[in-house]
Structure 1
Amino acid sequence: MVSEQLSEQRKVVVVGAGSGIGAATAAHFHERGDYVLAVDVRPNETPASRHELCDLRDATAIAALLDRIGPEWDLLAYVAGVPGTAPAADVLKVNYLGMRLFTTGMLPLLRQGGAIVTVASVAALGWQQRVDDLKGLLEATDAETVERWQATQDPNYPVYSTSKQAAIIFAKRLAPAAWQKYGVRVNTVSPGPTETPILTDFEDSMGKEVLDTVKAMVGRHATVADIVPVIAFLGSPEARWINAQDIHVDGGFVAPMSVGAPIEL
């Protein structure tokens, strides 16, 4: 029994494991017997095999961490994110640039058949219409370029939405090459409003009345227990032919915005 359990153990990196969806993701894999590396900017008590601290705004810190952890991983779950109430530069550095640097750096460290799952957001709705607008950001590979790009943008456009739009587009662009060169799949998960410690920050940045409307439409906000199984599935061998996809986990509230009013029953 012990040898069978060990043979099924996988090695998982969870970035943003200190709280919310990230903590729940790390705990999920830890509880099922996987070797979990929990990465966060702050010390935490999240159940895991190993903890590492990393400031995702710092490219040097990311590179040093990747050098320390070595190869032979099965899954990277990049769950780290800061809300739109944070400084714009930090939002873009953590939600987009840090994700980009971490995921590309992890590719050679993942086993063939491995996976990368990034948590995006339904706040990225409309990313298809912004591919050209985000060209400069998507070409940026360092913090200074990201900050210069943001300085030229409309300050009234939500930077959180921008960061998650860029994350989805980047993942979709990375996925074909990651699959062909490394045998690694790349997907994103886009939750709707979720009961986590930073939900009040989203109420401040997006408007509580907006989130209350979403809640009324589908009956409740999501919980981490609604989101984690989707991350786990996309990172599993069972999802072996799912690549370059963005999966909405929102209770269905986004759908009527693109296909029209719901059918009355």
Structure 2
Amino acid sequence: MTDRTALPLHGRRAMVTGAAQGIGLAIARTLALQGAQVVLVNLRHDAGEAAARAINDAGGDAHFIVGDMSDEAAIAATVAASAAAIGGLDILVNNAAPSQRARPPFGEQSAALWDATEAVMLRGYMLTAQAALPHLAARAGAIVNLSSVLARSVAHETAAYHVAKAGVEQLTRYLGWHLGRSGVRVNAVAPGVVDRDDGPRLSDDPVNRAVIEAAVPLGRAATAAEIAEVVAFLCSPAAGYITGQTLVIDGGLSLGEPFGVARSAVRAAAGAV
């Protein structure tokens, strides 16, 4: 049996939003298996309960709470319930994203789509950090926000998504500056192409795989577990002097010359069909 007292996050208490699937689930699992007590927050009750149960079966300490991270009153209640469930909060991971990821052309992107995206990924991150601050400040805690390489580049997502992720990085800098005196560190991670551990993988499609191999210097997508390991590092004492930063985790994707990469990717994709 693992001696949990020897684990790097033993004694830490974490809340992870959007944690029933994808990167959020991988983060919750990694934090729990590194010794933290973790509350998974998600709108989907069945998926959230199943995710927490799987983490517990693997030897972690996980709880699940339903929470709408776009609603101010619900955010405050969810943070309070999470802290009550595990005796406080030392770590907040803002990972929630809109449940619907429609990608219409710009001319068809509605104000409602903009509002729904910003409510979760920018306004929601700010309100969740605000609600969690009294708990985090009591124990010199850490916040990690989920950004994306699309905070700095333009691709297939909506305007609202790109702008929200760019806002997340500025929010991270703002909070890093203003919360430092409270002992709270605030950082972000910006993944590139990521293969889920719990669902269909982008690179399982031969066209996607050819594009990824051509565009990413490391030649592959990240796994959700690799993103989670970086988040766990930022939550740990090993990152005790890092705040206000965004770590880009994209396998070198953002380093490339775009036109040459695009030409190579298109040729490789055409050959893979």
2:116 pairs with one of 76, 83, 90: 90
Is 1:104 the counterpart of 2:130? The answer is yes
Gaps (5+ residues) in structure 1?
128-155
Equivalent AA in structure 2 for residue 122 of structure 1: V
Deviation at 1:93, TM superposition (A): 1.0
Q: What residue number does 2:74 align with?
A: 61
Aligned-partner Cα distance in 2 for 1:209–1:121: 22
Structure-2 change in CA distance of 1:191 and 1:64 (3 Å): same
If the length of structure 1 is used for normalisation, what is the TM-score? 0.75
Q: How does 1:1-265 map to 2 (within 5 A)?
A: 4=5, 8-43=10-45, 44=48, 45-46=50-51, 47=55, 48-70=61-83, 72-82=88-98, 84-85=101-102, 87-110=113-136, 111-125=138-152, 158-180=159-181, 182-196=182-196, 197=199, 213-218=211-216, 219-256=219-256
Aligned-partner Cα distance in 1 for 2:244–2:209: 28
Contact kept, 8 Å, 1:84 with 1:158, in 2: the verdict is no
Structure-2 change in CA distance of 1:8 and 1:163 (3 Å): same
Contact kept, 8 Å, 2:65 with 2:82, in 1: the verdict is no
Deviation at 1:209, TM superposition (A): 8.0
**RMSD, aligned CA:** 3.1
Deviation at 1:215, TM superposition (A): 4.2
Structure-2 change in CA distance of 1:51 and 1:230 (3 Å): same
Structure-2 change in CA distance of 1:157 and 1:33 (3 Å): closer
Equivalent AA in structure 2 for residue 38 of structure 1: L
Deviation at 1:38, TM superposition (A): 0.8
Structure-2 change in CA distance of 1:211 and 1:123 (3 Å): farther
Identity of aligned residues (%): 30
Equivalent AA in structure 2 for residue 236 of structure 1: S
Deviation at 1:216, TM superposition (A): 2.1
Deviation at 1:84, TM superposition (A): 4.5
Deviation at 1:214, TM superposition (A): 4.3
Aligned-partner Cα distance in 1 for 2:252–2:167: 22
Gaps (5+ residues) in structure 2?
56-60, 104-112, 262-273
Aligned-partner Cα distance in 2 for 1:106–1:257: 41
Instruction: Indicate the SS of the match to 1:113.
Output: coil
Aligned-partner Cα distance in 1 for 2:68–2:144: 20
Deviation at 1:165, TM superposition (A): 0.5
Contact kept, 8 Å, 1:84 with 1:159, in 2: the verdict is no
Q: What residue number does 1:147 align with?
A: none
Contact kept, 8 Å, 1:117 with 1:189, in 2: the verdict is yes
Aligned-partner Cα distance in 2 for 1:257–1:116: 33
Deviation at 1:255, TM superposition (A): 2.0
Instruction: Indicate the SS of the match to 1:118.
Output: strand
Contact kept, 8 Å, 2:15 with 2:82, in 1: the verdict is no
